[in-house]
């Protein structure tokens, strides 16, 4: 089987470093605490998910994960250094130890989980690959793109899905390779490609940043499953547990109605045993992962619960306008489900 360039480059790094890319148990938490700062690998700039403002302050759906982990581990959601990564550099940055956690729209796949020696700690956004075209093109379906030029980020699952989709539908296309979403936006707007393909959420975020979003259409076909989630290196299971259960705390908080505004009240008087354990009012779950009993409470207070984060960064009331869909709680017909806190 032919391996992609990005898979090969990281595997070569791991081999050359004699396995040093694997984290040692407990090393990451100690390194972060000694440093007094979490280093978070993020997108180079995707409005709604991870982008700096004019003052250089990062905000977004994925940024909230970084803040929550920093709050849990360091007691301060602002103690984060953000390292922009591209589709080509993100996994090397994580494997080499340049970043402590990768909180960037990255799809959880078999080869990334095993061959790249990464641990995806959960899914924070269930996505799928789509296509965006200019209204002027008059295209209403991806199956009308036979012979089209298509902007595609290299080193991504979308690159491989694109080839599969066109082959399955007996269509041809000409790829226009790009290295980042910013380059893709630039090339698409310059007319270098007929269509831009990436995760549907990324298309919505990109279109929201256009001066004329109404003149661009996201086609109805979703051609893949793209479970996006934060990742850490293999080897440091405790660090993986910390990041995993921080995400779970945000999801569970929404399910149990714990918000950034009522969290103090519920911490002191909730009669729900699960909420009591989540917020450290009873038991001391934090001690099991090397943290104090208030770690999850601080993580939730950093940016709110999962639903609050979704609503203010990418939700239907934002310019990006994404509906919850599959990312609704399991009690609301979605796929979000946090294991029990006990």
260-308: pLDDT as tens digits: 999 999 999 999 999 999 999 998 999 999 999 999 999 999 999 999 9
The reply to whether 218 and 137 lie within a common domain is yes
Which residues on neighbouring strands pair with residue 132, listed in sequence order? 196, 218
Q: Pick the residue with more confidence: 12 or 34?
A: 34
What is the 3-state composition of the chain as percent helix, strand, coil, each rounded to the nearest 5? 40, 20, 40
Q: Pick the residue with more confidence: 2 or 184?
A: 184
Structural domain count, the chain: 2
Q: What are phi and psi of 127, to 5 degrees?
A: -125, 180
Classify residue 8: in a domain, yes or no: no
Q: 16-30, 160-174, 230-244: which range is least confident on average?
A: 16-30
Judge whether 296 and 254 are in contact, CB under 8 Å: no
Q: Which residues contact 314 (CB under 8 A, 6 or more apart)?
A: 48, 49, 60, 61, 201, 204, 205, 320, 322
Per-residue pLDDT at 10:
42
Check whether 6 has a pLDDT greater than 70.
no
**pLDDT tens digits, 104-118:** 989 999 999 999 999
What number is the average pLDDT over the span 129-149? 96
Judge whether 108 and 193 are in contact, CB under 8 Å: no
**pLDDT tens digits, 73-92:** 999 999 999 999 988 899 99
Check whether 9 has a pLDDT greater than 50.
no
Give CA–CA dist 42/49, Å, rounded.
Answer: 9
Judge whether 38 and 32 are in contact, CB under 8 Å: yes
Classify residue 322: in a domain, yes or no: yes
The reply to whether 323 and 277 lie within a common domain is yes
The reply to whether 282 and 139 lie within a common domain is no
Classify residue 324: in a domain, yes or no: yes
**pLDDT tens digits, 166-223:** 999 999 999 999 988 889 999 999 999 999 999 999 999 999 989 999 999 999 999 9
pLDDT band at 21 (very low <50, low <70, confident <90, very high): low
What b/e sequence results for 276-306 when a residue is b if at least 16 CB atoms lie within 10 Å of its CB, and e otherwise?
bbbbbbeeebbeebbbebbbbbbbbbbbbbb
Classify residue 49: in a domain, yes or no: yes
The reply to whether 65 and 198 lie within a common domain is no
**pLDDT tens digits, 37-66:** 999 999 998 999 999 999 999 999 999 999
Which residue do the tokens 């990312």 mark?
Answer: 327
Cα angle vertex 116, ends 114, 118, to 5°?
75
Q: pTM score, two decimals? A: 0.88
Classify residue 286: in a domain, yes or no: yes
Give CA–CA dist 167/148, Å, rounded.
Answer: 14
Domain boundary among 225, 251, 277: 225
Classify residue 242: in a domain, yes or no: yes
Classify residue 19: in a domain, yes or no: no
User: How far is residue 170 from each of residues 21, 98, 164, 216, 240, measured CA to CA in Å?
Assistant: 41, 42, 10, 26, 42
Domain containing residue 105: CATH number: 3.40.190.10
What number is the average pLDDT over the span 302-326? 96
Instruction: List the domain range (segments joined by +) for residue 210.
Output: 128-225
The reply to whether 118 and 234 lie within a common domain is yes
The reply to whether 257 and 302 lie within a common domain is yes
The reply to whether 205 and 289 lie within a common domain is no
Check whether 254 has a pLDDT greater than 90.
yes
Per-residue pLDDT at 16:
39
Q: How is residue 274 written in tokens?
A: 């699960």
Looking at every residue in the chain, the average pLDDT score rounds to 92
Handedness of CA 252, 322, 227, 45 (dihedral sign): negative
Check whether 22 has a pLDDT greater than 90.
no
């Amino acid at each position: 089987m032919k391996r992609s360039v990005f898979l090969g480059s990281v595997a070569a790094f791991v081999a050359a470093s004699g396995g040093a890319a694997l984290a040692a148990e407990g090393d990451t938490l100690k390194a972060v605490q000694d440093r007094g700062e979490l280093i978070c690998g993020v997108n180079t700039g995707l409005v709604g998910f991870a982008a700096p403002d004019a003052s250089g302050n990062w905000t977004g759906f994925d940024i909230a994960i970084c803040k929550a982990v920093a709050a849990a581990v360091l007691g301060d959601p602002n103690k984060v250094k953000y390292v922009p990564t591209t589709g080509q550099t993100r996994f090397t940055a994580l494997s080499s130890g340049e970043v402590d956690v990768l909180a960037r729209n990255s799809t959880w796949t078999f080869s990334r989980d095993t061959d790249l020696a990464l641990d995806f700690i959960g899914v924070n956004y269930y996505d799928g690959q789509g296509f965006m075209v200019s209204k002027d093109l008059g295209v209403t379906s991806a199956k009308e793109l036979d012979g089209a030029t298509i902007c595609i980020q290299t080193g991504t699952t979308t690159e491989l899905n694109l080839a599969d989709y066109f082959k399955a539908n007996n269509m041809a296309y000409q790829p226009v390779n790009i290295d980042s979403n910013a380059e893709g936006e630039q090339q698409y707007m310059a007319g270098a490609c007929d269509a831009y393909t990436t995760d549907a959420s990324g298309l919505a975020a990109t279109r929201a940043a256009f001066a004329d979003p109404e003149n661009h259409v996201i086609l109805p076909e979703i051609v893949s499953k793209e479970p996006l989630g934060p990742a850490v290196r293999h080897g440091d299971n405790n660090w993986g547990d910390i990041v995993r259960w921080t995400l779970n705390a945000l999801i569970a908080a929404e399910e149990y109605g714990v918000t950034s505004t009522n969290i103090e009240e519920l911490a002191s008087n909730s009669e729900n045993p699960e909420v009591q354990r989540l917020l450290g009012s009873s038991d001391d779950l934090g001690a099991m992962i090397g943290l104090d009993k208030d770690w999850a409470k601080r993580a939730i207070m950093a940016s709110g619960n999962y639903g609050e984060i979704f609503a203010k960064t990418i939700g239907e009331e934002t310019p990006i306008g994404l509906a919850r869909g599959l990312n609704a709680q399991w009690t609301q017909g979605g796929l979000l489900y946090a294991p029990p806190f006990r």
